[in-house]
Amino acid sequence: MAASLSTGTPHGLEPVKANPLGGVRSKYRGPRARISRDPSLPWWRRILPIIASHRLTFFTAIGLSFVSLVFQTLVPNMLNHAVTGIQHHSSGLRHEVIQILLVGVLAGVTGIVSRQYVYYTAYNVEADLRTSIYEHLTWLSFSFYDRVQSGQLISRANSDIRSVQMYSTFAPLIIVQCSIGVLAFGFMLSIDPWLALIAMTIMPAMYFIGIRMRRVLFPISWITQARLADVATILDENINGVRVVKSFAQEEAEVNRLADAAERVAWAYVKDAQFRAKWSPWVQNLPQVGLALVLFFGGWMVLDGHLNIGGILAFNAYLLMLQAPFMMLGQLVMMGQRAKASAERIFEVLDENPEITERPGAFDLTDVRGALDFNHVRFEYANGAEILVDFDAHIQAGETVAIVGRTGSGKSTVARLVTRFYDVSDGSVCIDGTDVRDATLASLRANVGVVLDEPFLFSISIAENIAYGKPDATYDEIELAARAANAHEFIERLPEGYDTVIGERGYTLSGGQRQRIAIARTLLVNPPILILDDATSSIDVHVEASIYQALRALLRQRTTIVIAHRISTIALASRVILLDEGRVVATGTHEELLATSPLYAEVLAQTTRDDE
């Protein structure tokens, strides 16, 4: 993010404040405007609202840049008058030198201030673009992440946004530079119209070269950005999966995989460089042809007495000024094609709509007792795999129920349907008689706590991880939740206790320790409905027993679904639901099912063998 001119803080980002846990939380108010969702608009029109929201600093930068360039165009004309005056002994040199120095200082000051405002605007536009795409990603449903690689998303949120930002904020400055070329051409006309027209004979060729560059650069720009995203994907997978890579001694294979992807990126960059090498010299050197023509005809006119020396000096200075816009024109085309390719990749994400949305008139769940009803639920994932066929179950408020079944029978899917991570394909899931699809997502998920079998922890302190769902929690509340999850003792033994910052994804802790912190995190929120999705699978049996002893009193106060893996877990439940191929095939107490259901005994025997 860019630094603010006054405080070193990005626009919209207030100074960070300490939270009760000892960390810091920024208060970024978010972008002032949103990217247009109308896919029929050109890509730059869709970005325009973000830029327009910074119009004050943006137009200040443009205006000051224009003023700076106007001052620069005055210097050659002043030089012309000075030289002419010296030739005719009509004026002294001192007065003209002071004028030129003054104009030069004004041009420099306005240029410096303009550049500051340009960068101020550019990096705040980048921050708003990045925030917009991240906010959209947070609204997308789980099904989107099931099919899109995280590396692709990281690339779009970084390099693609940078390409769009650079073009969106610097292209107008280049256009201003080109417009100053018009002013310079006006001065050239005032010196000698015919010589000015001769200098501009190369303009048609410049126009056609610019059109050709645009056509050839867009495809390779798209390929380059896509292949950079492939590299980001491989890096993301290798960093997150480093333990798997090392466990199977596949370091060399992964290095080769990344090298192949890097070579594909290099090929794209080489092709891009080849196209630039082919066309950029034309853009940069054609103005030299105009300069040669001016020197030839202008020199002849001086010798013939139709033009004075001051005029030819000013004319050449203006012609040199025109070269910068010509060179920038080529850069503008190249930046534009890369920005267009990047913008379209960003829009691929922004044009995605979440599958899980709130219905019109959705209301907050309040005073939840916790009665759960699964009414003939059918569910299949987007790939067509049917998981639940006719799942029909009813759980009373305050009841603890274990769901048991073979791998793939749909146990975890049941938990995902309660929280609306996915929506049922048919039937309904109700809480206290209310279809979860009629409730607001925030209130639904505030009333349903889930502890997953693979806990995710953030690279912050243990206290902040536990208080993640309740940032204003006190230390006493955090410690109470940790004690309930049997995590307090090992946390106290850490070098900085609850203030210990854990490594990425919590891998500086053991699997059981991570699991206990995840349980404490959910217990602190104190939801009326609790789902333990194989939550103690990574915990030692003895530790598990002490956790359950602490949990028993807490579970009496809430409705609990236990996705069971061990017999010790099932012991927490007053009733067991046996799943097979997406259907409820039996229900009853643990003892009743052992006596009446051979499948239940078979499932327990299998899980026991897996533990061993």
CATH code for position 194: 1.20.1560.10
Residues 83-130: tens digit of each pLDDT: 666 656 555 566 777 878 888 888 889 888 988 888 888 888 888 888
Q: What is the pLDDT of residue 9?
A: 34
Residue 433 lies in a domain: yes
* Coil vs helix vs strand at 429: strand
Task: Return the pLDDT at 1.
Answer: 32
Total domains present in the chain: 2
Q: Are residues 153 and 296 in the same domain?
A: yes
Q: Residue 542: pLDDT above 80?
A: no
Among 138-142, 286-290, 519-523, where is mean pLDDT lowest?
A: 286-290
Q: Are the beta carbons of 32 and 128 closer than 8 angstroms?
A: yes
Q: What is the mean pLDDT of residues 558-573?
A: 80
Instruction: Give the model's pLDDT for residue 436.
Output: 93
Within this chain, do residues 580 and 464 fall inside the same structural domain, yes or no?
yes
Over range 174-180, report the average pLDDT: 77
Dist CA 268 CA 138 (whole Å): 32
Residue 451 located in a structural domain: yes
- Where residue 518 sits, what CATH number does that domain have? 3.40.50.300
Question: Domain range spanning residue 287?
Answer: 41-350
**378: DSSP letter:** E
Is the CB of residue 462 less than 8 Å from the CB of residue 498? yes
- Angle between helix axes 541-555 and 511-525 (nearest 10 degrees) is 0
Q: How far apart are CA 499 and CA 505, in angstroms?
A: 16
Residues 584-610 pLDDT 10s: 989 998 888 888 888 888 888 776 555
* Average pLDDT over every residue of 21-42: 68
Please choose, from the candidates 356, 526, 548, the residue with its C-alpha nearest in 3D space to the C-alpha of residue 448.
Answer: 526
Domain assignment present for 317: yes
Rounded distance, CA 394 to CA 167, Å?
Answer: 58
Is the pLDDT reported for residue 278 higher than 90? no
Q: Say yes or no: 385 and 534 in one domain.
A: yes
Strand-pair partners of 13 = 28
CA gap 283, 261 in Å, rounded: 33
Same domain as 539, residue 469: yes
pLDDT value at 375 more than 90: yes
In a domain, 47, yes or no: yes
pTM: 0.68
In a domain, 321, yes or no: yes
- Give per-residue pLDDT as tens, 279-312: 777 766 776 777 777 777 777 776 776 767 777 7
How far is the CA of 5 from the CAs of 57, 58, 117, 168, 266, in angstroms? 11, 14, 8, 20, 38
Alpha carbon distance 13, 26 (integer Å):
7
Which amino acid appears at position 587 of this protein?
T
For 321-360, how does the pLDDT look when each residue is reduced to its tens digit (9 = 90+)?
Answer: 776 666 666 667 777 877 888 888 888 888 888 888 888 8
202 secondary structure, DSSP code: G
Q: Is residue 172 part of a domain?
A: yes
Domain match, 120 and 166 both: yes
Q: How confident is the model at residue 581 (pLDDT cuts 50, 70, 90)?
A: confident
Q: What is the DSSP string of 154-189?
A: HHIIIIIHHHHHHHHHHHHHHHHHHHHHHHHHHHHH
For 9-18, 71-80, 499-508, which range has the lowest pLDDT when averaged over its residues? 9-18
For residues 198 and 292, give the distance between their C-alpha atoms in angstroms, rounded to a whole number: 10
Residues 6 or more apart whose CB falls under 8 angstroms from that of 198 comprise: 290, 293, 294, 297
Which token pair is 102?
Answer: 């003054």
Would you place residue 243 in the very low, low, confident or very high pLDDT band (cuts 50, 70, 90)? low
Average pLDDT, the chain: 78
Based on the fold, state whether residues 274 and 333 are members of the same structural domain.
yes
Nearest to 9 by CA among 28, 23, 25: 28
What is the C-alpha separation between 188 and 196, in angstroms, rounded? 6
Higher pLDDT, 496 or 314: 496
Residue 345, Cβ neighbours under 10 Å: how many? 21
Band of residue 210 on the pLDDT scale cut at 50, 70, 90:
low
Instruction: Flag whether 6 is in a domain.
Output: no
What is the model's pLDDT at position 418? 92
Rounded distance between C-alpha atoms, residue 144 and residue 176, angstroms:
42
* Statement to judge: residues 388 and 528 lie in one domain: yes
pLDDT above 90 covers a percentage of the chain that reads 9
pLDDT given at position 434: 92
C-alpha 150/C-alpha 143 separation (Å) is 13
492 with 583, same domain: the answer is yes
- Beta bridge partner(s), residue 373: 394, 430
**Residue 184 corresponds to which tokens in the numbers above?**
């310079």
Domain match, 534 and 457 both: yes
Q: Identify the bridge partners of residue 403 per DSSP, sorted by sequence position.
A: 563, 577
3-state SS of 323-367 is: HHHHHHHHHHHHHHHHHHHHHHHHHHHHCCCCCCCCCCCCECCCC
- pLDDT score for 435: 93
Q: Rounded to 5 degrees, what angle do the CA atoms 534, 538, 544 make?
A: 80
What is the reported pLDDT for 514? 84
275 and 391 housed in the same domain: no
What contacts 462, CB < 8 A, 6 or more positions away? 491, 494, 497, 498, 499, 500, 502, 517
CA–CA distance, 542 with 512 (Å, rounded to integer): 11
Exposed, middle or buried: residue 542 (CB in 10 Å: 0-12, 13-18, 19+)? exposed
What is the distance between the alpha carbons of residues 183 and 79, in angstroms, rounded to a whole number?
A: 16
Whether residue 334 is found in the same domain as residue 389: no
At 207, the pLDDT band (50, 70, 90 cuts) reads low
One-letter amino acid of 70:
V
Q: What is the mean pLDDT of residues 182-188?
A: 78
Same domain, 276 and 312: yes
- Which tokens belong to 155? 């690339």
Torsion-angle region of residue 427: left (phi > 0), alpha (psi -120 to 50) or beta?
left
Q: Which pLDDT does position 88 carry in this prediction?
A: 60
Which of 282, 317, 350 finishes a domain?
350
Q: How many CB atoms lie within 10 A of CB 292?
A: 10
Q: Report which residue type is found at 145.
A: Y
Residue 14 has pLDDT above 50, yes or no: no
Total number of residues shown for the chain: 612
The DSSP element (H or E) to which 300 belongs, if any, is: helix 251-304
